[in-house]
Amino acid sequence: MKVLVKLSAASLPFVMALTVCAQRPGAQATPTPSSTRPAGQTNTTPARPATQQPPTATASATNLPISKMAVIISDQFLDPKTGILKFGILITKLNGEFQKTKDDLTQMQTRAQQLQSEITKLQNAPIGTPIDTKSIQAKGDQLEQLKKDIQRKSEDAQAAYTKRQGELFAPLQEDIGRALDVFAKAHNINLVIDAARVPIIYAADSMDITQAFINEFNSKNPVTAATTSPQ
């Protein structure tokens, strides 16, 4: 991504060199030595002042840093097919730890649907059939309580899931950060911008190093059989 900076004329440094010229006095009669000057006296003419030289202007050159930027999209690290393989292993492990909680919530939701169906069936009884209002009320109370339980359990599970995800991902994220630093230095990259975190209006495809970095990281950090099975 190229950024053009237009400088105004007033912002450009400049050096003015002033030339001082010695001016000869106005036309005057040149004195002629007298033929009757004393013996042994020589004719002397005052020396003309040396012409003042203009100051030498020296421009100091500023060495500007040469920067090479690149873009990376960290969200693609989590892609199960083309992302960082170790993330897939950790996600499998994380989901395995919360599988029972997920199953419990599924059962609770199934029960809530059953209660709702039973209530609807009682309310839509054929004409002439006595409506068991007590049963409808009891089932309705059960349904409302079950909904509250599902909401609370879901929120607790989400909080626990997020916390555990941070614990599992933190070491790998540190490894990725160090590897990205090595990758950037090896390719003379001075700045890497994460497009998943910083909005970018435009960037050439050639600046995207995501897949190249993922491939190198996976090659240097292979997933072994010991890490593929959830613990």
Q: Where are the alpha helices (DSSP H) in 129-186?
A: 133-186
pLDDT for position 124:
86
Q: Is the dihedral of CA 168, 169, 172, 173 positive or negative?
A: negative
Q: Which amino acid is at 131?
A: I
Domain segments of the chain: what residues? 69-228
Round to whole Å and give the CA distance between 35 and 45.
Answer: 16
* pLDDT for residue 170 is more than 60: yes
DSSP for 47-68, please give it.
PPPPPPPPPPP-PPPP------
Residues 6+ apart with CB under 8 A from 136: 119, 122, 123
pTM (2 decimals)? 0.63
Would you give the DSSP letter of residue 159?
A: H
In the chain the first and final C-alpha atoms are separated, in Å, by: 45
Would you give the DSSP letter of residue 78?
A: G
pLDDT digits (tens, 9 = 90+) for 171-182: 999 999 999 999
C-alpha atoms less than 13 angstroms from C-alpha of 169 in its C-beta half-sphere? 14
Q: Is the dihedral of CA 80, 92, 152, 120 positive or negative?
A: positive
Round to whole Å and give the CA distance between 223 and 125.
Answer: 60
The overall average pLDDT reported for the chain is 78
Residue with the larger pLDDT of the pair 225 and 147:
147
Residues 134-148, mean pLDDT to the nearest whole number? 94
Contact 140, 119 (CB under 8 A): yes
pLDDT for position 90:
96
195-199-205-211 Cα dihedral, nearest 10 degrees: 10
pLDDT for position 6:
29
Most confident of 23-37, 51-65, 114-128: 114-128
Rounded percentage of the chain residues whose pLDDT exceeds 70? 70
pLDDT for position 185:
95
Long-range CB pairs of 106-110 (<8 Å, 24+ gap) are 108/146, 108/149, 108/150, 108/153, 109/150
Residues 6+ apart with CB under 8 A from 222: 85
Residue 69 DSSP SS3:
strand
Residues 1-24, mean pLDDT to the nearest whole number? 31
Element (H, E) at 72: strand 69-72
* pLDDT for residue 187 is more than 90: yes
Going by pLDDT thresholds of 50, 70 and 90, the confidence category of residue 52 is low
